[in-house]
Amino acid sequence: MLTTEADARTFLRSLPPSFQIASELLPTISVAAQARIDVAIQNAWARSTMGKYDNNLAHFHAFCDTESIPHHLRLPASEFLLCAFAASFAGTHAGSTVENKLSAVRAWHILNNRRYNGGLRLNYVLKGVENLAPDSLPPRPPVTLDMIRFLAENLDFTNSFDCCVFAAAVVAFWGQCRLGELLSATERSFDPEVTPVVSHVGPSCTRGGSRTLHLPNTKTRGKKGDDVFLSRQRGAADPVDALNAHIAANHLLPGDPLFSYRARSGGILALTKRKFLARCTGRSSGDIFWFQTRPASPGNRMNFTLKGGELIHVKSCVLLVKFFTWFVGEIPPLAAKTTSFPSENWVVLGPKYCVKFTISVVHSVNPSRS
């Protein structure tokens, strides 16, 4: 989200000042009330989204420059101009990509309280762009457990950076996380409201030492965050062992980014997606591959299926484990194998609430380590 007025101005920096709404056009309400409106609407989009919108607005202005569109006719944009901008990508871009570019233009109109003129004609232009889109790349195979094991065999665990990379890989795989939910956007600064820190790793919650990880910001829940369950596994692919080894190798403190490593100078650098992928695909050293595939989440869903398990939302596993801990004593954490139980309706009783949902009872492929 936007945290300062400067962040919001970044989104508008390419716009001529004459198109900012003058204060005299606003309703006759207090300055404080106007400021609250500005703060609220500036925080309607995530900071990363606003960054993308900033780039897409630059594309819009570049198109207008190419077509010699005068500045005073650009924004607010007429439907004819919006259609022309969208049609300029026909045959080269997917319809969804063009819609994202138009979303940036629409956001400008929302921020500046101007009418957005996208209508029926623009919708049909977008349909045409989608129909003319080039063939997409063939689906990439999902990440598999064998790839995780291959990665473990090819990393150097005497290297603290490789320890960090492997920990991020196995947590993304078993926790079904998006890399953006785990890794920082920049290596020298990070936002603890977006990126998990060491203290977000919970204590052991089963006899075998399985743990939870709190994600402060997720794609689906935003700033509300979510918890993922890291079940103990056999062999080198165990996420708990990988996390422990990584934290110890890099001497991380509770407030450090969870996936960070020691630079040669001794300082902490946050692991970024770019460096993570470069290491896993072999562009930095070695011949490691694996993340030329789809993200870890679909791969682990397939892993559950291949092992005979009916997948339920793993991020709800903590609730399931608590249920059995309260009423049965202990069960192995969710990992793979379906028991003979059919789907049942369980009522999970909390201190102040009662939640009813449908699950399929599953148990771990490695109950001895749960």
Got the DSSP string for 304-331? HHHTTPPP--GGGHHHHHHHHHHHTS--
On whether both 176 and 279 belong to a single domain, the answer is yes
Same domain, 29 and 160: no
Q: How many CB atoms lie within 10 A of CB 57?
A: 21
| 202 plus 297 within the same structural domain | yes
- pLDDT score for 27: 58
Which of 297, 277, 273 has the alpha carbon at shortest distance from 289?
A: 277
In a domain, 137, yes or no: no
Residue with tokens 């150097």: 156
Looking at the fold, whether 313 and 234 belong to one and the same domain comes out as no
Select from 288, 304, 320 the last residue of a domain: 304
pLDDT at 248: 92
Confirm if 98 and 126 have CB atoms less than 8 A apart: yes
Residue 269: domain span: 145-304
* Structure tokens belonging to residue 283: 């562009």
Euclidean distance between CA atoms 64 and 69, whole angstroms: 5
In a domain, 319, yes or no: yes
138 domain residue, yes or no: no
Shared-domain flag, residues 197 and 239: yes
- Domain harbouring 176, CATH code: 1.10.443.10
Q: Flag whether 298 is in a domain.
A: yes
pLDDT at site 225: 84
Same domain, 174 and 78: no
Is residue 139 assigned to a domain?
A: no
With left for phi above 0 and alpha for psi between -120 and 50, is residue 274 left, alpha or beta? Answer: alpha
**What pLDDT score does 293 carry?**
40
**Number of structural domains, the chain?**
3
C-alpha closest to that of 15 among 65, 68, 74: 74
Does residue 21 contact residue 112 with C-beta atoms inside 8 Å? yes
State whether 176 and 102 are in the same domain.
no
Per-residue pLDDT of the chain (370 residues; tens, 9 = 90+): 344 444 444 544 444 443 444 445 555 778 888 888 888 888 888 777 888 888 889 999 999 999 999 999 999 999 999 999 999 999 889 888 899 999 999 999 988 889 999 999 999 999 999 999 887 777 666 777 888 888 888 888 999 999 999 999 999 888 888 888 888 888 887 788 888 999 998 888 777 788 888 988 888 787 888 888 888 888 888 899 999 999 999 999 999 999 999 888 888 899 998 898 888 876 444 444 444 444 444 444 445 444 443 344 444 444 444 444 444 444 333 333 333 333 333 333 333 333 333 333 333 334 344 4
Measured CA to CA, the distance from residue 185 to residue 187 in angstroms comes to 7
Q: Which two tokens stand for residue 195?
A: 């990126």
Same domain, 150 and 277: yes
Last residue of a domain, one of 87, 102, 131: 131
Is 289 part of any domain?
yes
pLDDT at position 205, please?
78
262 with 324, same domain?
A: no
Residue 282: the pLDDT is 66
244 and 285 housed in the same domain: yes
Predicted structure pTM score:
0.58
Indicate if 15 and 151 belong to the same structural domain. no
Domain boundary among 77, 103, 131: 131
